[in-house]
Chain A
Amino acid sequence: MTKIVTHKEGALDKYYIPALIVGLKVTLKQFYKTLFLGQSTTINYPEERREYSQRFRGEHFISVDPQKTENCTACYLCQTVCPADCITIVAGERPEDANPYGVKKEKRPVSFDIDALRCCFCGFCEEACPKDAIKLSRNYELATLNRETAVYDLDHLKREVKGRG
């Protein structure tokens, strides 16, 4: 059952001044609290920063091993699961002479792009990854000056970070 709520316009609503005063009351209350009681709701970003949850999902990164080789094996599971279709991987074989790992890391991503403008930060990619390679860090400062830099490539993503970063 849908309940329909209607608001009847009274005589006071016809003039905007009373409504303005009602609104200003909230502003004045916050103004008073901030100025005299020191109970501020805003912070002086970027000098001050909020503490986010450990489970906050921000910018992606791809973890690397001690030799700084990405852990990703280009299995495409993250690309498959991504609901926003923002991961594009090109897989290939690690050149035999440049592969100290043998078969363990013979398949590698030749390129790995994430379009952060499409990403909805659902974390499904992280969930799907069998190698714990792709992860979402707690970095939320993702603003860029143009669209191109919002597409992260492998070099941008590869990071030596412990845990969630």
Chain B
Amino acid sequence: MTTSEAPAKPKLTIDGQAVEFQPGDTIMKAAERARMDGTIPRFCYHPGLPVAGTCRMCTVEVEKAPKLMTACSTPAADGMVVLTQSDRVRKSRSGVMEFLLANHPLDCPVCDQAGECSLQDYNYEYGPSKSHFVEDKRVWKEATTKRLSDKLTLNMNRCIHCERCVRFTEDVTKTHELLMDNRAWRKELTTALDEGLFNDYQGNVADICPVGAITFNDFRFHKRVWFLKEKTGICDGCAKGCSIYADEEKDTVYRYRARFNKDVNDHWICDEGRVSFHTYQQADRIVQPLLTAGSTLNATSWETLVPWFTNELKKARRVLILIGTDASSEEAATIAQVLPSFSSADFVVRSWNGTGDGVRTSADDAPLDHLLRRRDQTSNTRGIEGLGIKPWNEAQDQNFDLAIYFRSGRATLPPSMAAKEIAWGVFSLAEAQRFAAVLPGLSTLEKFGTYTNCDQITQSFETVVKGLGGSASVRKILDGMKLKSNTPVREVAGDTI
């Protein structure tokens, strides 16, 4: 009996280890697949951009090739033998570093990139400790601090001409705002128009710039990166749910960065999402329980508010539970199932979105451009729909004596729904005025759960920072309401959900 054998995959050898690759791979790609690319330094190569092969930092020695080859642009071939750390290679890299540093200001102490700078890291690894250059360094008078837009600042002195930024605007956003002017040592990065950059993904340029030449204004000068702890999360800025790193120190988030996720956002995130964490750290976010006293909302304690809330539920006859489509699936399910057990009133559970000029369901959602941004600016519309919760219908859902609105800071404020309304979740003081009480809840950064994005991809996320002030999780509040353990869970009739 013969078994049909799959054709042997082509292989190359990197530093003595045989590595399989797929036809069409470059040496760098093959090394990446085998997770052996740590020994190949690179400046111009970025996995999300087309190959340029200009910086010559990634050179490797290929057996039988007379010259060193660039790993990022040389196609891998079957039987190739590659050395990434030979003496010839290291000497070449040291030479590249010396040229790059010839005109580099080395102002690492004031440079925001210090600590995560490729130039620093590679110079430590490969660079010469001395320079042969005695000439003055080239200084860009005008472009030392140049605003490329209201989001980005360029320090041309630090630029190493890798052109990642240029290729980003050419191939990713396709807006072509950046270009290189002049040649040789006068080669200068400029914007095509006087207005500067205008795309909605500019933060990525600061992310991919291997040095501190382009910095993101929202983060510029705010923190040295070595103080930050890198946590993973999901951006809740729109229905796309991009993967992010949330960098925090002492429970304050300082920035978001894009985290590679092939299925959702590739290497990028949009600018609106990148700064969206500020919403949760604003001074006017309510982080203490508030209870109405006459016409004003007064600060109170959970010990007062929770019994009051339980009592209101008991007193009510017809209750609307309105869940923002920014709630996590777990929160929505828990509230919809557990809250009705506290009272014998009629409960109706509905969802509310309201972002992007009145999105109600995922059917109203649409992409805003060819990359990531969506019209629906809440993170879990699909997830809430998956629980079977229908959107609020103004014509039908009326005559409530109590309405509870739960959201996590992204869904808009719905119109008035009942005589007495209770806000639960993330609200600002201005938004909360019309409510009888506010139960401060957790934002996406402060809780864990799952969101289902616009493409039906369900992603879970972890807690990044601890809840601000007195804000509490849904679970904690419901625990505080002391449901007797033998109370049967009340099934809410299917048609009311």
Contacts and interface: CB of A to CB of B under 8 A. Distances in A.
Which of under 10, 10 to 19, 20 to 34, or 35 or more describes the interface residues of A? 10 to 19
Contacts of B110: 73-75, 107
Contact of B109 (A73, A93, A103): A73
B222 A91 contact: yes
A76 interface: yes
B221 A93 contact: yes
A80 B224 CA distance: 9
Given A80-B226, A106-B145, A75 B109 contact: yes
B221 A107 contact: yes
A77 B222 contact: no
A78 to B, nearest CB: 11
A76 B227 CA distance: 10
Interface in B27-81: none
B398 interface: no
Contacts, number: 30
Contacts of B221: 74, 91-93, 107
Given A103-B144, A130-B109, A93 B224 contact: no
Interface residues of B, number: 12
B145 A103 contact: yes
A102 B227 CA distance: 28
- Which interface residue of B110, B220, B222, B226 has the most chain A CB atoms within 10 A? B110
- Which DSSP category, helix, strand, loop or mixed, fits chain B's interface? loop
Interface string B198-222: 0000000000000000000000111
Nearest to A91: B221
Contacts of A103: 144-145, 155
A93 B155 CA distance: 14
Contacts of A80: 224, 226-227
A107 B224 CA distance: 13
A76 B109 CA distance: 8
Contacts of B145: 102-103, 106
Nearest to A92: B221
A92 B226 CA distance: 17
A122 to B, nearest CB: 20
Interface string A68-94: 000001111100100000000001110
A75 B144 CA distance: 18
Interface in A120-137: 130-131
Contacts of B220: 93
A12 B221 CA distance: 72
Contacts of A74: 110, 221
A102 B109 CA distance: 17
Contacts of A102: 144-145
A91 B110 CA distance: 10
B19 to A, nearest CB: 39
A91 B220 CA distance: 9
Contacts of A75: 109-110, 224
Contacts of A130: 109
Contacts of B227: 76, 80
A80 to B, nearest CB: 7
Residue of A91, A102, A103 ringed by the most chain B CB atoms within 10 A:
A103
A11 B221 CA distance: 74
Contacts of A93: 220-221
Contacts of A73: 109-110
Given A107-B110, A130-B109, A76 B224 contact: yes
Contacts of B222: 91-92
A80 B155 CA distance: 25
Given A76-B224, A131-B109, 20 more contacts: A73-B109, A73-B110, A74-B221, A75-B110, A75-B224, A76-B227, A80-B226, A80-B227, A91-B221, A91-B222, A91-B223, A92-B221, A93-B220, A93-B221, A102-B144, A103-B145, A103-B155, A106-B145, A107-B110, A130-B109
11 contacts: A73-B109, A73-B110, A74-B110, A75-B110, A80-B226, A91-B221, A91-B223, A93-B220, A102-B145, A107-B110, A130-B109
Interface of A: 73-77, 80, 91-93, 102-103, 106-107, 130-131
**A-B residue pairs, 8 tightest by C-beta:** A75-B109, A103-B144, A76-B224, A130-B109, A103-B145, A91-B221, A73-B110, A107-B110
